[in-house]
Amino acid sequence: MIIAVFSQPGQSIPTVIGQQLGILAEEHTKLLAEEHKKELDKAIDDTRERVLKPTGNHLKEQIQIEPIRVADSKGYGVGNIEVLNQKAPWWAWINYGRAFSGRTIPPGTKDNPRITGHFVPDTKGIFTKGQPKFPIDPKIAIKPHNYIEKALGVMVNKVRNLIKTGVI
Amino acid sequence: MILTWEISTNIENSLIDFLRSSITSQSLQVLDQNGIAKTVNVYAGRELNNDWNLPLIQVYLDSKPDATRLEIGSNKRLRSFQIIIDIRTLLPGQETNLADWVEETINNGITIYDYTPNSSNPDVPTKVVLGHGRVDFITSLPVLSYDDADKYDQNRYRISAKIWING
């Protein structure tokens, strides 16, 4: 990619180049953050084992792009750990196959008698609270979905492409 | 035709073979809490098995992120196979040291074999060299500690890496 840099009379060329590079770097960082968010969403969707529950917090919605300001420069982060820990604490369980509590198998009625409900018809596996209340005791551990690593694995090439060609 | 091991399984098993033979050739061991030397085990599979012995290196293929065509007019592709390496140890700190060892050991790449069933000795499949797999590391960091983590998760480190091969 070739970029023409113009300077006004009296302006220092290195300063103008520095400013242009700063703008370009910020644009590229934003582009990569947006792409990373897309790849994380895709990795979550691709490894989904149950249909998306229509209500409640969803992992994908809690992973957002946030601007990060350090002095005069602006960067972007994808996924705020504090937000995730609060609103989608199962992010680690899904990725690493282990909950913060140390669990691998979701809790059931034997662990907590209040955990009862029923499978919603025609939803391929959505278990919900409310009547009729049947006990449920999961037996299968949640396997690691590795959505973080999957997304990063794709992003490595996208970063290289962006640096090489100026486009993702 | 009975389908046997294809490239994904060949790569996964080649890496496991390589790590196992490196452990054997270097007599790699780590100490437990009583100062007794324990040999490092290498296991295959995404799902943790409660019969596995610590310290261990768990290896499995997770995804195939790249399959770029090498040239116009050819069906040959440059493929990558993303591998997850979960390291689980008995004592804190050992997981990081073992991760360093793994990274150093596979950094120069690994030989990829094509495995075929061996009816006379099913546990030792026949293998022929398929090529050399280049290794690119993607992530390398300790896994979060958990509140009531069991022995397998108290000291855990995860490496993800792409293994590249032409074909």
pLDDT tens track of chain A, all 168 residues? 677 888 888 888 888 888 888 888 888 999 999 999 999 999 999 998 888 877 788 999 999 999 998 887 788 999 999 999 999 999 999 999 988 888 889 899 999 999 999 888 877 778 888 888 899 999 989 999 999 999 999 999 899 888 888 888
Residue A23 and residue A59 in one domain: yes
In this structure, are A58 and A129 located in the same domain? no
Write the CA distances from B26 to A123, B23, B102, integer angstroms: 53, 5, 12
Packing angle between helix A13-46 and helix A147-165, nearest 10 degrees?
150
Sign of dihedral through CA atoms A66, A87, B154, B61? negative
Answer yes or no: is A3 within a domain. Answer: no
The rounded mean pLDDT for chain B is 92
Residue range of the domain that includes A115: 105-140
In this structure, the answer to whether residues A112 and A158 fall within a common structural domain is no
Q: Which range among A12-26, B32-46, B80-94 shows the weakest confidence by mean pLDDT?
A: A12-26
Cβ neighbors of B22 (< 8 A, separation 6 or more) are: B28, B105
Which position has the higher pLDDT, B135 or B74? Answer: B135
In a domain, A6, yes or no: no
Region for residue B118 given its phi and psi (left: phi exceeds 0; alpha: psi -120 to 50; beta: otherwise): beta
> Do A132 and A148 belong together in one domain?
no
- Residue A17 resides in a domain: yes
Domain-located, residue B2: no
B78 has a chain A CB within 8 A of its CB:
no
Residue B70: which CATH number?
3.30.2000.10
A155 and A116 in a single domain? The answer is no
Does A66 share its domain with A122? no
A83 and A127: one domain? no
Q: Kindly provide the b/e burial profile for residues A59-85, where b requires at least 16 CB atoms within 10 angstroms of the residue's own CB.
A: bbebbeeeeeeeeeeeebebbeeeebe
Q: How far apart are the first and last CA of chain B?
A: 22
In a domain, A81, yes or no: yes
B82-92: average pLDDT: 96
Least confident window among A66-70, A162-166, B1-5, B62-66: B1-5
CA distances in angstroms from B149 to A104, A148, A164, B116, B153, listed in the order given = 10, 21, 44, 39, 5
Please name the member of A101, A144, A153 whose beta carbon is closest to the beta carbon of B147. A101
Query: Are A159 and A113 in the same domain?
Result: no
pLDDT for the residue A55: 79
DSSP β-bridge partners for residue A128: A118
A116 lies in some domain: yes
Does a structural domain hold residue A40? Answer: yes
Q: Do A109 and A46 share a domain, yes or no?
A: no
Please indicate, yes or no, if residue B1 is contained in any of the structural domains: no
Residue B167 confidence (pLDDT): 60
Cβ pair B63:A98 closer than 8 A: no
The alpha-carbon gap from B79 to the nearest alpha carbon of chain A, in Å, equals 12
Same domain, A58 and A117: no
Q: Do residue A132 and residue A153 come from a single domain?
A: no
Q: Establish if B11 belongs to a structural domain.
A: yes
Question: What integer pLDDT is reported at residue A1 of this predicted model?
Answer: 67
Comparing B40 with A6, the larger pLDDT belongs to B40
Domain hosting B147: range is 7-166
- The answer to whether the CB atoms of B46 and A143 lie below 8 A apart is yes
B6 touches chain A (CB under 8 A): no
Render pLDDT for B133-164 as a digit per residue (tens, 0 to 9).
Answer: 999 999 999 998 777 778 888 899 999 999 99
**What total of structural domains would you count in chain B?**
1
Better-predicted residue by pLDDT, B90 or A2: B90
Q: Is the pLDDT of residue B1 over 80?
A: no
Q: How many domains does chain A have?
A: 2
Same domain, A39 and A120: no
Q: Is A8 inside any structural domain? A: no
